[in-house]
Chain A
Amino acid sequence: EAGVAQSPRYKIIEKRQSVAFWCNPISGHATLYWYQQILGQGPKLLIQFQNNGVVDDSQLPKDRFSAERLKGVDSTLKIQPAKLEDSAVYLCASRSQGAPGYTFGSGTRLTVV
């Protein structure tokens, strides 16, 4: 089966600019996650979707971050405006209904300068 696709792989922006990341999960996976991984740390949950509904966005900085999952398939994560501390790898993962294990994409490495 095809893996979780993410784009772009790399992005460099100036602070206060906006940026968007895209994720295409494994076909049929109802649950989708966005994680932020700062260099040298473990992934930290930003948001969890079940189909196109939000299950958990308690750790999403809603003043600057937004995410949507239209039609319960693809998802986009947006940051506006970006801050220096947003420099990280943004990982998308998906999970099928009956299985607990995630499949992660390779991530988007964001550098804010």
Chain B
Amino acid sequence: QQQVKQSPQSLIVQKGGISIINCAYENTAFDYFPWYQQFPGKGPALLIAIRPDVSEKKEGRFTISFNKSAKQFSLHIMDSQPGDSATYFCAASLGTGRRALTFGSGTRLQVQP
């Protein structure tokens, strides 16, 4: 019930293209869904987050789409750049983020110039 499943495991996109990463969750009590970006040798950094009362949130080139009935959410990176090459993790938690995050397994994104 606490799992968050993430796909694909790895993704190669051309510069300027759209990167799409998907996550699915089981626990319908989850109420906070962030995405984290991690570069090699660094800790994950919060990228963007959404709560289940909205279906989409956009910040710059990053958009989260949320489908509550399907228990799925996705990250879209528009106009992908080589500097976006990193590992991306979806996560979910209870209590609007007050409880600990459960992370997906990660997607390694490579943006080719």
Contact = CB atoms under 8 A, between A and B. Distances in A.
Interface of A: 4, 31, 33, 40-45, 48, 55-56, 91, 93, 95, 99-107
Interface of B: 6, 32, 34, 41-46, 49, 89, 91, 93, 96-106
A56 B93 CA distance: 13
Given A42-B106, A101-B49, A106-B42, A56 B100 contact: yes
Given A42-B103, A42-B105, A100 B97 contact: yes
Nearest to B90: A42
Contacts of B100: 33, 45, 48, 55-56
Contacts of B42: 106-107
Give the secondary structure class of B's interface. Answer: mixed
B99 A56 contact: yes
A23 to B, nearest CB: 11
Contacts of B101: 43, 45, 102
Contacts of A45: 100-102
Nearest to B91: A42
A43 B99 contact: no
B21 to A, nearest CB: 13
Task: Kindly list the 3 A-B residue pairs having the minimum CB-CB distance in the complex, ordered from nearest.
Answer: A100-B97, A104-B43, A42-B103
Given A55-B100, A101-B46, 7 more contacts: A42-B6, A44-B103, A45-B101, A100-B93, A104-B44, A106-B42, A107-B42
